[in-house]
Structure formats: C-alpha cells, structure tokens
Amino acid sequence: MNCSELHGVVGVGPSVVWLTVLMLLWFVTLLLVAFLGGSARRRPLMFLFLFASGAATLTGYSVRRALDVTTGVPDGSILAGHVLAILAMVAALESAALLTGVTSATRRALRVGQSLLALDGILLVALFLAIPRSLDHPDFGCWQARSLVVLTYQLLYQGALATSLVVEIVLFRPRIRSVGAPLLRNALRMLIGGFVVGSAYVGVRVWYLFTHAFGLPYPLDGRFGFVPVVLLEAGLGMLGLAACIIGAHRLGRFIGRLSQYHRLRPLWELLSQIAPGHVLGVTRSRWADLVGVPGAQRRLYRRAIEIRDAQWELAGFVSPAMTECATTALRNVQRPPDEDLDLTLEALRLEIACRAKSAGLPHAGPPDSGSWSGGADLDSEARALLLIQRLRKDPWVQATAGAIVEGEGDVAASPTPERA
C-alpha cells in the first residue's frame, strides 16, 4: 500500500484475515473481562488484552478513516492506537512481574520500564499536536516521512516497543531456572526468543525510518524485502506458540483443581453434617457447584480449609488410647506396599472420630496435631484429602474403626474385619 491509495475519504476495505483475527482477539478479551475482572492479581492480564484489542482494531485503515471523519481530528486514530498500545505494554510488564514473582530487582525494572513508557506516551501526544495533518492526506508517517518531527514521533514509538521487549526479557530470563516442568521451561525460552526476535524487528524498523527520512539506500529493499516481514511473523509466532503452551498448562491446572473441588464434595458433605460450624459462608447447592466455573482455585482452597477445620474439631473425640490402638492395628496389618501409611492412619483416625461423635462419646481432649498431615501447596493438599476420602471407605478401615469405637478388644492382635 502506498500513499496514493490512502487519498480521499473512501478508505481501504478490511481483509478477511484481519477481521477474523480481530474477532478472535475481542472474544478472548471479553472472556478475560468476565472471568478475571474480579481478581486483582490477574487484572493486568485483562487490561493487556483490552488495550491490545483496541490498538489492533485501530490498525485497520477503514476503521481509522471512519474514526477520523467522525471526530474531525486528522490521524487522531493513529495517536489513539499508539497510546492504547503503550498502555498494553504497561499492562504486559505488570503481568510479567506478577508471573515471574515480584522481587526488589523485578520491581525496580518494572518501575523503570513503566516510567519510560509513560514519558514516551506524553511525548507522543506533544509531538502529535505539532505535526501538520489533514483529513485528505491520512497517515502523516506516509506523507511526511522526512519531517524531523514525524521521524522523532515514529522513533519514540519504536523506542516504546524496544523498552517493553527488553524489560520483558529482563523479567522472564531469571525465571527459566526455577520452572520445574520441562515443557514450561521450553515455552519460557520460546517466549524470550520471541522478545529477542521482536527487538530485532524494531531495530530493522528504525533502520528503515532513518534511511527513508534521509534518502539513504535501504539494503533490505528488493529481494531482501522479506526480512522485516519474516522477523515480525517469526516473533509473533514464537510469542503466540509460547503463550498457547503456557495457557494450555494453566487451563489444565484449572480443570484439575475444578475436578478436585467436585471430587472432594462427598468428604466435605460428611464432615459438614457432623461438624457444621466450620462451613464458611453460604452453602452452595450441587447444581451451583457444577455451573460455577469461575474461582475454582479459591473454592478448592476454601473447601480444603473447611475439611481441615472440621477434621481438627473431630480429632478431639479420638483419645490417646484410640490413637495407640489404631497405630498398632495399622502396624500389624498387611497393606499395599505403595500406600502412604501416614494418610491411612489419618483416614482411620478420621473414621474413628466420626463414629465416636455420632455414638455420643465424650470429647477426649485437645487433638494430637502431629497425627494430621498437610500438603505443601494447594494441589498436594487436595491430593492428600482425596486419598484420605478414598481410604476412609476401605473395608479394613471401616471395620477397624468400628471395633475401636465399640471397644471390642485389642484389634492389634486381630487386624482383619472377620477377627475384629
């Protein structure tokens, strides 16, 4: 496209590819607004897509022309698109800092980058007001490429892109060693590679601006004209693929936590009936649980807390003698070799506690905190609770707990259900 094709008020029709990409981008943006709008930690990601979608919309010449004619501000859409892009860069840096972990070093790099971007945006607005513009000659960068003011404007925008890319590299590079999953580690390397290729594209673009402004020969014209396009497409492709891998991993973890939340419902319902005082807030119906997808991590965390709190209360119904009896019984029975005996004992003591309270036995005193497990993170905690839920239904656990509560002799010498 050359300057003559931009003359007049008719404009250039949008392409099918551009419309398709734009609709997909806005669809993802609306989903993020719906699901992440209430999360302060993930809100920068929502603003990143919101600003990026607005900037991408203004890349269409037909959209620009319509906006300029409607507002009466020549090339005002160009400035609006650039400002939205800078805001997207600011949100991208904030998202990157949250993803990589906010330390004093990352916070310093984040603030420097965002301050430079803010200064860049202010200077762009000031230069824009000084550039002669006309509705009959849209895109001042095309018609006034040799103007010092226009060149400075374009270099400032490219400088904003370079600042964002460099700070992203600084934020993400130390994160590679701390990522455990090989797939995520390679995705992070690909993400950094996309930032590096993007920086190379910015360098080529700056080279073109200087040569075009001062009438110097541009070596990448002619048969090497594909280089800038390849750099741009390769950078975007690497960033897109890396983002898809990271997004798929996060989606898998989200689905896993949502599944754990629903699978823990039987144990939660049992303990909520026996110790109802530990249910936090309004109890959700099963239907509300099934259709309530947002906030899976928060709800799983809440469910784990409610189960542990009820478990702590019920532990007071297990006397030291009952605990000793359960430990002896577990020591003398043949369990599967790959079974976690600590969790088996915990499931046994939980079943004893439930039966003891239901039978009206007196409270035995403060619980023994050393007998209760706890995961290092939410995922390991949920896996432990799911295993306890399954082991509690084990026939041997059921029979042994019944024998201990009923006081039917020493189960250490008779660990099987028949003998008990």
- On whether residue 414 sits in a domain, the answer given is no
Do residues 158 and 306 both lie within one domain? Answer: no
142: closest CA among 10, 340, 302, 1?
A: 1
Do residues 162 and 239 both lie within one domain? Answer: no
Do residues 171 and 185 both lie within one domain? Answer: no
What amino acid is encoded at 141 in this protein?
G
* pLDDT tens, N- to C-terminus, the chain (420 residues): 445 444 333 334 456 766 777 887 788 788 777 765 556 667 888 888 888 888 888 887 888 888 999 999 999 999 999 999 999 899 888 888 877 776 777 788 888 888 999 999 999 999 999 999 888 888 888 788 888 999 999 999 999 999 999 988 888 888 887 777 788 888 889 989 989 998 999 999 899 888 888 888 888 877 777 888 888 888 878 887 888 888 788 888 888 888 898 899 999 989 888 887 777 665 566 666 665 656 677 888 888 998 988 888 888 888 888 888 888 888 888 888 777 888 888 999 999 988 888 888 877 666 555 445 555 678 889 999 999 999 999 999 999 999 888 873 343 334 444 433
Do residues 250 and 272 both lie within one domain? Answer: no
Do residues 144 and 229 both lie within one domain? Answer: no
Do residues 246 and 368 both lie within one domain? Answer: no
Q: Which pLDDT belongs to residue 84?
A: 93
Do residues 162 and 231 both lie within one domain? Answer: no
- On whether residue 369 sits in a domain, the answer given is yes
Q: Which pLDDT belongs to residue 15?
A: 66
User: Using CA atoms, how far apart are residues 213 and 142, in angstroms rounded to an integer?
Assistant: 11
Q: Which pLDDT belongs to residue 30?
A: 83
Do residues 93 and 67 both lie within one domain? Answer: yes
Q: Which of 158, 175, 192 is the last residue of a domain?
A: 175
What is the total count of domains within the chain? 3
Do residues 191 and 291 both lie within one domain? Answer: no
Q: Which pLDDT belongs to residue 7?
A: 39
- On whether residue 376 sits in a domain, the answer given is yes
Q: Are 79 and 129 in contact (CB under 8 A)?
A: no
- On whether residue 411 sits in a domain, the answer given is no
Q: Which of 255, 275, 299 is the last residue of a domain?
A: 255
User: Using CA atoms, how far apart are residues 345 and 331, in angstroms rounded to an integer?
Assistant: 10
- On whether residue 53 sits in a domain, the answer given is yes
Q: Which of 223, 255, 287 is the last residue of a domain?
A: 255
- On whether residue 354 sits in a domain, the answer given is yes
> Mind giving me the DSSP string for 263-331?
HTHHHHHHHHHHSGGG--SSPPPHHHHHH--TTHHHHHHHHHHHHHHHHHHHGGGS-HHHHHHHHHHHH
Do residues 111 and 195 both lie within one domain? Answer: no
Q: Structural domain of residue 202, as residue ranges?
A: 181-255
Q: What is the DSSP letter of 222?
A: G
Q: What is the DSSP letter of 134?
A: B
- On whether residue 320 sits in a domain, the answer given is yes
- On whether residue 384 sits in a domain, the answer given is yes
